[in-house]
Structure 1
Amino acid sequence: MTQELHIVGGGMAGSEAAWQAANMGVKVVIHEMRPKVKTFAHQTENLGEMVCSNSFRSDDHEQNAVGLLHWEMLQAGGLIMRTAYQHRVPAGGALAVDREPFAQSVTDALAAHPNIAISLEEVAELPETGHWIFATGPLTSEALGAAIQRETGADRLAFFDAIAPIVYADSIDMSVAWKQSRYDKGETEEEQKAYVNCPMTKAQYEAFIDALLAADKTEFHEGETAGYFDGCLPIEVMAERGRETLRHGPMKPVGLTNPHKPEEKAYAVVQLRRDNALGTLLNIVGFQTKMKYGAQTDVLRMIPGLENARFARLGGIHRNTFLNSPTLLDAQMRLRSKPHIRFAGQVTGVEGYVESAAMGLLAGRMAASELLGQSLDTVPQDTAHGALVHHITGGADAKTFQPMNVNFGLFRPLDGMRGGRRGRRERYKAYTDRAKNAWKEWLATQPSIATQAEMVEGLDGHAAE
């Protein structure tokens, strides 16, 4: 009788790992500590809950590495991507979802699977026997984090992450703001108007930066050495790096024309993106913050169009846990000191919902293959999955290892396309073409699960090609 696979954590990585392993015929137990043990950031008891944002980022699978991950996961019958397309909301060229029904659908699918059981309790220690995947994500419990630290001997397992505020759409002054995606990106009018834009003059921007820098903020506890992940910096930290930093980051005014004042070019623009299917909630794009709540409302209401904004959720900061994976994990994502334990998701040092789910997909398949006594071919490094897992399990410099989003810089160079010899679009298209061919060939070596791609047929053609 096949042993059970135990997966600790029901976020993106744990949910995807369970789905993949269960579809290979393995009995899976998902251990999720919520609702008995709550976290700062979670709002519901569902599996697959999106905490920091409702976006899976770019859906361009020909010119963007994260979009390529979307494509690869769909081809592999990924639960997270399939569900994301089912609950998609307009977001220009990005894939964003209505987060509550998304998580509910993930939970329902896992609960209904005949090979999956869900156990609601905290796992606070690393087990000595069995087959385990730890996918506890950025909010690993204090007890488990201490157990991991004891086992690995690591002196640092964390950095800080922040979440952005969410605004009620009907509290935005649309006589000041307007709807438009940057450069009118999107195939439909709805996509081309997926963002709400709030313009600022130079004087308004300068006043906003002054208030932002002076606002009361949540600070680290004495002795805390964790830093920030550069891809998700609080806006105050960006502003401290230079007064123009925000204007060249989340507040850049390019590609936008204010229909209220078409002849006047905004000095800076704050964008809000739909956070649910109804369009009643919008999150402020790139506005992760560690401002205290009182200061947060005062500062954010300085943004033109948000003077009377009502907030469904204010931003905040939380601790993120991750391993020095190049040192601690082998190529199969197993803990070197306890090879019956795998790690997956953000705790391995990847950053982002998509990357976390992708590492769950691989960990689930690797663990299931081992349990079933089957061989699993090495994931091709030329694929997005392969480039990412190679980076975290040996490709990165262990001394400077930090959480990483997927990007084309992780891919092996293309023959004859080094440097500036070819245009970027041509080079990125070549990366994705090579990756798709390699991914299809890899999936074809796994006859028991290769047909899972059929599950995603009809999802707007995204699984086709």
Structure 2
Amino acid sequence: MRTDIVIIGGGLAGSEAAWQAANRGAKVTLYEMRPKSMTAAHKTGGLGELVCSNSLGSSDPITAPGLLKEEMRKLGSLVIRAAEQARVPAGSALAVDRDQFSSMISQSLQAHPNVRILHDEITEIPSDCVCIVATGPLTSDKLSQAIAGLTQSNHLFFYDAISPIIDADSIDMDVAFRASRYGKGEDDYLNCPMDESTYTRFYEALLAAEKVLPKEFEKIPYFEACLPIEVMAERGKHTMQFGPLKPVGLEDPRSGRRPHAVVQLRTENAHRSCYNIVGFQTKLTYGEQKRVFRMIPGLEGAEFLRYGSLHRNTFINSPQLLHTTLQFKSRNTLFFAGQLVGVEGYTDSAAMGGLAGINAARCLAGLPPVAPPPTTAHGCLLAYITSTDPCRFQPMNSNFGLFPPLSSPVRDKERKRRLIVERALKDHAAWMTQSGLS
């Protein structure tokens, strides 16, 4: 066995993994194929290059993304440190100067005595070392084939088809009703009934709504099994009524009649704290999703924990394949990290990279791997990606709907979130101390 940790991918996850592992005494070899082999989206060979937005999301400490950043900060995150040094004005969001941000990450890793950076493409996953695969949504074709061979091809996905997720507390339960079609199954579904005029207005709004234009490398035919909801609408006024808005088998208990159309919401977790709008994968812009989907009866005040999307994103079926330590179940010296494990967003990807780096260093040193408790921002993300139903697994970003409920119910939303944050930081600090990470 090699005596260094091999990390494949020099994006945010790979860079954070290298930093965390190297700071814990491990020798690291970080492979980044750019600039020798470029992707369809990257422009440079710099580590941590941002290819989409220059924002790492909210830094407000009383938000789930802000809490995740604070936990990363306490772990000595390179990504958070570089972002704060390269910060540009963006209100409560942590936005950065892209070039400065990438330069700081590159320089920090180049200067680290335990890190060696090689700009070569890796096409096979090495088996003679502790290895972290953190190649992100633009994983090369050859390495994708190697991952598919390792994980079995049916556990590797190349496109997200994501429906929005709504905070349960923001759903009007005087309108939505619990039921499963034909009375089969449990009451995990919430149903939002539409009459004919409401359905017509919703249909027309979908047709007129602004869409996100696909990037050049994303221009492929849609899969019939996961058409965007607005594409269904474009195929005819009644198409959605034979798809996700079909009313058959359902009766509105308030009217005693079958609605003209029904939007179903499916619980995302055992706590019933967040609900997925079934079949609503979409290319609508975030602003349009909020406007149009709030036309659905019962969702007029909906708070979106995750917006819908449909885009290129290579990721594995983590519930089938990974432990909560991000170790591959069939090989404990292999770790996966970043968007590849099914998280969304820069910060979430970097956070998973950091945990993989910590555990890879522990593995190399003969120490047991660690995982933060699910009451923390890191821990609830890990719980989601490793314990969700594998048949319904889709990437997720950090949000309050993932956290376990408080021991005593709290109705005030702001106070509830403050208590979740306080509990998370307390439990995170205790975990760091117990794991020897302080």
Asked if TM exceeds 0.5, the reply is: yes
Stretch deviating more after TM superposition (376-385 or 327-336): 376-385
- SS of 1:95's partner is strand
Structure 2 residue runs without a partner (length 5+): 162-203, 229-275, 294-305
Q: Matched residues, percent identical? A: 44
- After superposition, give the CA deviation of every residue in 1:372-410 in whole Å (9 maximum; x if it has no partner): 12234431211101111121122x111100000011111
2:425 aligned to which of 429, 436, 444 = 436
Q: What is the match of residue 83 of structure 2?
A: 84
- Inter-partner Cα distance in structure 2 for 1:211 and 1:351: 24
1:328 aligned to which of 321, 331, 348 = 321
- Inter-partner Cα distance in structure 2 for 1:109 and 1:288: 36
- SS of 1:26's partner is coil
Q: What is the match of residue 251 of structure 2?
A: none
Q: What is the match of residue 397 of structure 1?
A: 389
2:407 aligned to which of 399, 407, 415 = 415
1:154 Cα shift?
A: 3.0
1:330 Cα shift?
A: 1.6
- Inter-partner Cα distance in structure 1 for 2:212 and 2:11: 36
Q: How does 1:163-202 map to 2 (within 5 A)?
A: none
Change beyond 3 A, Cα 1:216–1:138: closer
Change beyond 3 A, Cα 1:245–1:222: closer
Is it true that 1:388 corresponds to 2:381 in the alignment?
A: yes
- Whichever residue aligns with residue 371 of structure 1, its letter is L
CA contact (8 A) 2:82 2:101 kept: yes
- Whichever residue aligns with residue 402 of structure 2, its letter is L
Is it true that 1:73 corresponds to 2:65 in the alignment?
A: no
Change beyond 3 A, Cα 1:82–1:137: same
- After superposition, give the CA deviation of every residue in 1:178-233 in whole Å (9 maximum; x if it has no partner): xxxxxxxxxxxxxxxxxxxxxxxxxxxx99x85967999974148797878x99xx
CA contact (8 A) 1:39 1:139 kept: yes
Q: How does 1:116-135 map to 2 (within 5 A)?
A: 116-135=115-134
1:422 Cα shift?
A: 2.0
- After superposition, give the CA deviation of every residue in 1:252-280 in whole Å (9 maximum; x if it has no partner): xxxxxxxxxxxxxxxxxxxxxxxxxxxxx
- Whichever residue aligns with residue 355 of structure 1, its letter is D
- Inter-partner Cα distance in structure 2 for 1:23 and 1:213: 44
- After superposition, give the CA deviation of every residue in 1:415-443 in whole Å (9 maximum; x if it has no partner): 112xxx42111110011000001111122
- Inter-partner Cα distance in structure 2 for 1:6 and 1:391: 26
Q: What is the match of residue 95 of structure 1?
A: 94
Q: How does 1:300-319 map to 2 (within 5 A)?
A: 319=312
- Inter-partner Cα distance in structure 2 for 1:105 and 1:53: 18
- Inter-partner Cα distance in structure 2 for 1:19 and 1:216: 33
> Could you state the TM-score of these two structures normalised by the residue count of structure 1?
0.65
- Whichever residue aligns with residue 112 of structure 2, its letter is H
Question: How big is the alpha-carbon RMSD for the aligned residues of Structure 1 and Structure 2?
Answer: 3.6
1:237 aligned to which of 251, 267, 283 = 283
Change beyond 3 A, Cα 1:370–1:238: same
- Inter-partner Cα distance in structure 2 for 1:383 and 1:445: 15
Q: What is the match of residue 12 of structure 1?
A: 12
- Inter-partner Cα distance in structure 2 for 1:379 and 1:64: 19
Is it true that 1:353 corresponds to 2:346 in the alignment?
A: yes
Change beyond 3 A, Cα 1:425–1:225: same
Is it true that 1:40 corresponds to 2:40 in the alignment?
A: yes
- Inter-partner Cα distance in structure 1 for 2:10 and 2:381: 21
- After superposition, give the CA deviation of every residue in 1:106-129 in whole Å (9 maximum; x if it has no partner): 000001000000011111112222
CA contact (8 A) 2:58 2:94 kept: yes
- SS of 2:316's partner is coil
Q: What is the match of residue 398 of structure 2?
A: 406
- Inter-partner Cα distance in structure 1 for 2:88 and 2:66: 16
> Could you state the TM-score of these two structures normalised by the residue count of structure 2?
0.69
Change beyond 3 A, Cα 1:150–1:88: same
Is it true that 1:220 corresponds to 2:225 in the alignment?
A: no
- Inter-partner Cα distance in structure 2 for 1:12 and 1:213: 28
- Inter-partner Cα distance in structure 1 for 2:212 and 2:339: 32
- After superposition, give the CA deviation of every residue in 1:17-76 in whole Å (9 maximum; x if it has no partner): 000000000000001111111111111110001111111111111x21110001001111
- Whichever residue aligns with residue 65 of structure 1, its letter is A
CA contact (8 A) 1:238 1:246 kept: no
- Inter-partner Cα distance in structure 2 for 1:366 and 1:80: 18
CA contact (8 A) 2:46 2:102 kept: yes
- After superposition, give the CA deviation of every residue in 1:70-116 in whole Å (9 maximum; x if it has no partner): 10011110000011111111111111111111011100000100000
Change beyond 3 A, Cα 1:28–1:212: same
Change beyond 3 A, Cα 1:377–1:348: closer
- Whichever residue aligns with residue 444 of structure 1, its letter is T
The number of residues matched between the two structures is: 335
CA contact (8 A) 1:12 1:356 kept: yes
1:245 Cα shift?
A: 3.9
Structure 1 residue runs without a partner (length 5+): 162-205, 250-285, 290-316, 451-465
- Inter-partner Cα distance in structure 2 for 1:72 and 1:5: 24
